[in-house]
Amino acid sequence: MPRKILFIVNPNAGKKMSALIIDTIRNEFPQNIYYHIAIWENKSHFNEITLALREQGYTDAVAVGGDGTVNQVAKSILGTGITLGIVPTGSGNGLARSLGLSMDIEKVIHQIAVGKTALIDNGMVNGIPFFCTSGVGFDAHIGHLFASSEKRGLKSYIQIILREIFKYRAKNYVLKFDGQEIKRKAFLITVANAGQYGNDFYIAPQANMQDGIFHVSVLRPFHFFHAPGLLIKLLRRKAHTSKLIETHIASRISIIREEKDTVHFDGEPSLAEREVVYECRPGSLKVIIGEGFKVS
């Protein structure tokens, strides 16, 4: 079946950036593969785009944007058989990096043209799909503050982390999985389908998007002088060896908090009930992968 590709561009990257990416697609993408470019203007327009995806026989939906854009496009094609591609233009690009896709626009467009694919799992958090990581605690708190910030990009994200990391207080949680119930005081709890948050910060480096299970990382409260060593382990894909991190493996897990609070899914924050329920859905999404992705 011939490929029919829809590039879905999030203009929030800025008009100059969007124009540059569109020009690069037109200059670099092979002319013998049908494609169309749609600019996502608002929520209502995005609904029109997803309707066109399903009704006009598109085989591939390529999200052009950051993690939020990728999550939105991926959610819209779950269960349709349409393949997800990513042109990463965000500050983290967690899923794109996890799939071995290039951060260089020209190179990733060539990877999309090649069209090498694999099936990956997705997670559900209280019925909401996610594809990379989700969690409660500090990372959800940062996601909420970053979403409210007028400044975007990695620099702004790091500034918020540095401002909040020594003010934030660990909270009490109950985790239920595989017939167990454990109580923990944690700085954060990350439920990982993929190993990283983005920017190659690996909170769960042993996570595999094709094994049907989550790696659940529980970060205990820590003193400020432990922060540099923890950061180094995240960057070196050694977080699971840290004495501060406890790891559990489960395909379904319930996390109960003391009150309603924020949860994040692929970095996008949302207020959720006290109980947050996670379920893994194996082999649910077909994705375009890069050369560095190891197929299980």
CB 196 within 8 A of CB 133: yes
Shared domain for 67 and 201, answered yes or no, is no
Range of the domain at 248: 128-282
Last residue of a domain, one of 100, 121, 142: 121
Does pLDDT of 150 surpass 70?
A: no
Strands (E), the chain: 4-9, 34-39, 60-65, 83-88, 117-125, 128-130, 133-137, 171-177, 180-186, 188-192, 214-219, 245-250, 252-257, 261-265, 268-272, 275-288
- Cα of 259 vs its chain's centroid, Å: 25
Q: What pLDDT was estimated at residue 154? A: 66
pLDDT-above-90 percentage for the chain: 69
* CA-closest candidate to residue 83, choices 128, 114, 47, 38: 114
Q: What pLDDT was estimated at residue 34? A: 97
Q: What pLDDT was estimated at residue 15? A: 52
Span 218-258, pLDDT tens digits: 999 988 788 888 889 988 999 999 999 999 999 999 999 99
In the predicted model, what is the mean pLDDT of residues 204-211? Answer: 96
Shared domain for 133 and 29, answered yes or no, is no
Q: What pLDDT was estimated at residue 119? A: 98
Query: How far apart (Å, rounded) are the C-alpha atoms in residues 201 and 212?
Result: 22
Q: What pLDDT was estimated at residue 153? A: 63
Which tokens is 242 given? Answer: 């840290």
Last residue of a domain, one of 78, 105, 121: 121
Shared domain for 143 and 116, answered yes or no, is no
SS3 28: helix
The model's confidence at residue 32, banded by pLDDT at 50, 70 and 90, is very high
- Answer yes or no: is 294 within a domain: no
Rounded to 10 deg, the angle between the 67-77 and 43-55 helix axes is: 40
Does pLDDT of 148 surpass 60?
A: yes
Shared domain for 171 and 228, answered yes or no, is yes
Span 79-123, pLDDT tens digits: 999 999 999 988 789 999 999 999 999 999 999 999 999 999 999
Shared domain for 27 and 109, answered yes or no, is yes
Q: What pLDDT was estimated at residue 164? A: 78
In the predicted model, what is the mean pLDDT of residues 123-130? Answer: 96
Which tokens is 121 given? Answer: 């799992």
Span 41-79, pLDDT tens digits: 776 788 899 999 989 999 999 999 988 899 999 999 999
Shared domain for 36 and 88, answered yes or no, is yes
**The dihedral sign for the CA sequence 118, 124, 130, 135:** negative
Q: What pLDDT was estimated at residue 280? A: 98
